[in-house]
Amino acid sequence: MTDDLLTRFLALSPADRRQLLSGDAGPTGPRASQIPAAPRGPWPVRLPVSPGQQAQWMMWRMAPDSVTYHVPACYEITGPLVPALLIKAVNAVVARHEIMRTTYAQEGVRVMQVIHRDLPADVRIGTAGSREEAVALAAVAAREPFDLRNGPLVRVRLWRFAPRRHLLLLLLHHITVDERSSRILERELAVYYRAAVCEQPAALPPLPVQYGDYAVWQRTLDSDADLVYWSKQLRGAKDMRLPSDHPWPAVSTLPGATVQLPLPHGREALADLSARLGGTPFTALAAAFAVFLAGETGTDDVLFGCPVACRTDSAIAELIGYFMNSVVLRIRTAPSVTFAELATEARDVVGGALRHQAAQFHDVVTAVGAKPGAFHNPLFDAMLVFLSGDQTGHHASLAPDLPMRPVILPMPNAHRYITFTVVEEPSAATLTVHYPSEAYTSSTVERWAGRLSRVIARAAAEPTKTVADLVSSPGTLEHTGR
């Protein structure tokens, strides 16, 4: 069982775990592939986009110059890199995955994938006078807008800034990749590079399906049962908003900023909580996040967003593409409930969300009667992301003598919500908050980050404390109301 599937399994309630082990896997468990190969015509092949891609297309049409949905992966490479072999490896990955040589076209009311037989990556190689200059060049390159109609949608930028020192930027659009796809790309790039060095074929099994097959298949699925679940789960939910320092601007593109801080003992706290309370580090984190939001908004009915991978079919486990969806977690934080009890509720809420993750977010918005707006998210304004060490790529290498150290580039644009990301490493954990800087001040976000950190620490130390205790305890949270 992979780490991803194990996490999902442990997030289920005991009854659902028994159902899974009894042989009825349901929508959250691994299953044999149900995705058939879609009929193909001559090149370029034209197939419908997936619902998630259609949403990405619409956001690009609204703001084609926005970098909000750019996915940059930047690495400092140390060692005897051969640029020509790196480019060969990149184009081998592009040849393997159709989605990486796909552009998009509007045909009436339909948006189509236009899959090309050959569409090499856009590659540029240069030099820089220093590491700092190379990083600055990469930050500028990461902001260059994409043309989804014409492509190519895979960009490679490589700068040599010192002997045996390079900076690599892989830039894609979110319509092409999700978070797990970035890890697949990183891993396969290393496989193809090592094969090129040894002048041998890459040891990768054939892909059972391509993303276009998945997109066609996904549109045949009946999500009515999932939408019924979400309608019941979110019925009567309050409009919960974190208080902003300034009015939200009515524009499609928002400038963004980032606050980051270490979580002292955060990794140990989450691991200890999950072990004692019978959940996962994420469910413990979700409960702590709910306490934090309750204190900041003055409500005991908390909603926040969470990204899910939506890779429940075995055929797409190692496929690059855009599979991600957003789910809404609703956790009721009654003041008298203990944190241990709240963590149990969070576990059940996460399990239910995973079982019904196939319903597209925009369909959920419609099903629950929320009013979508061009300039706000109708269901939440806070997103919680949890990345364990194996999801971050911090220990990647292109070859045994070519370690790759990730370089974090500034993110100039923000979504219309605040993203709280906890990254768990073997020896530490960090919290990064990315936010719209025209709605919130840095001092507010820094205060929030510190308070969330203290909630995690206090809950781990005393899980029998009630929500009211955690909200009001000195040194943890002061109740601020709305």
Q: Which domain holds residue 327?
A: 224-381+416-472
Residue 431 is predicted with a pLDDT of 94
Kindly report the CATH number assigned to the domain that includes residue 181. Answer: 3.30.559.10
Instruction: Tell whether 79 and 158 lie within a shared domain.
Output: yes
Is 374 within a domain? yes
DSSP structure class, residue 418:
E
| Pairing status of strand 254-262 against strand 413-414 | antiparallel
- Residue 383 has, within 13 A of its CA and on its CB side, a CA count of 21
- Residue 253 is predicted with a pLDDT of 75
| 205, 242: one domain | no
Chain centre distance of CA 272: 25
* Same domain flag for 252 and 270: yes
Q: Which residues contact 476 (CB under 8 A, 6 or more apart)?
A: 451, 454, 455, 458, 470
pLDDT for res 275? 85
Q: Is 334 exposed, middle or buried, given 0-12, 13-18 or 19+ CB atoms closer than 10 A? A: middle
Task: Please report whether residue 402 resides in a domain.
Answer: no
Which regions in the chain score pLDDT beneath 50?
Answer: 1-30, 393-394, 474-482
Residues 53 and 150 in one domain: yes
Token pair listed for 476: 């943890």
Residues 278 and 336 in one domain: yes
Final residue of a domain: which of 167, 187, 214? 214
115: which strand partners? 45, 102
- Predicted confidence at residue 48, as pLDDT, reads 96
Q: Do both 323 and 448 map to the same domain?
A: yes
Is 67 a member of any domain? yes
Q: Within a 13 Å sphere around the CA of 172, how many CA atoms are in the beta-carbon half?
A: 24
166 and 70 both lie in a single domain:
yes
Q: Spell out a b/e string for 28-63, using b for 16 or more CB atoms within 10 Å of the CB, else e.
A: bbbeeeebeebeeeeebbbbbbbbbbbbbbebbeeb
In a domain, 102, yes or no: yes
Q: What share of the chain is helix, strand, coil (3-state, %, to 5)?
A: 40, 25, 40
Number of folded domains in the chain?
Answer: 2
Residue 25 falls inside a structural domain:
no
Find the largest Cα–Cα distance for the chain. Answer: 68
Does a structural domain hold residue 388? no
Cα separation of 359 and 161, whole Å?
A: 47
Among residues 161, 186, 214, which one ends one of the domains? 214
For residues 412 and 257, is the Cβ–Cβ distance under 8 A? no
- Among 160, 187, 214, the domain boundary falls at 214
- Say whether both 259 and 183 belong to one domain: no
Polymer length of the chain: 482
- Give the three-class secondary structure for 191: helix
Task: Report the C-alpha gap between 445 and 430 in whole angstroms.
Answer: 15
Q: How far apart are CA 229 and CA 27, in angstroms?
A: 14
- What secondary structure does DSSP assign to 83-143, as a single string? HHHHHHHHHHHHHH-GGGGEEEEEETTEEEEEE-S----EEEEEE-SSHHHHHHHHHHHTT
Q: Nearest-CA neighbor of 359 among 379, 335, 341?
A: 379
> Do 308 and 246 share a structural domain?
yes
The answer to the question of residue 26 being in a domain is no
The reply to whether 36 falls in a domain is no
Q: For the residues of 272-314, what is the DSSP string, one character each?
A: HHHHHHTS-HHHHHHHHHHHHHHHHH--SEEEEEEEE----SG
User: Which stretch of DSSP H or E encloses residue 454?
Assistant: helix 442-461
Q: Look at residue 268 in the predicted model and tell me its pLDDT.
A: 84
In this prediction, residue 121 carries a pLDDT of 96
Check whether residue 239 and residue 308 sit in a common domain.
Answer: yes
Rounded Cα distance between 375 and 254, Å, is 10
**Radius of gyration, alpha carbons of the chain:** 23
CB 411 within 8 A of CB 216: no
- Checking DSSP bridges between strand 301-308 and strand 402-406, what pairing results, if any? unpaired
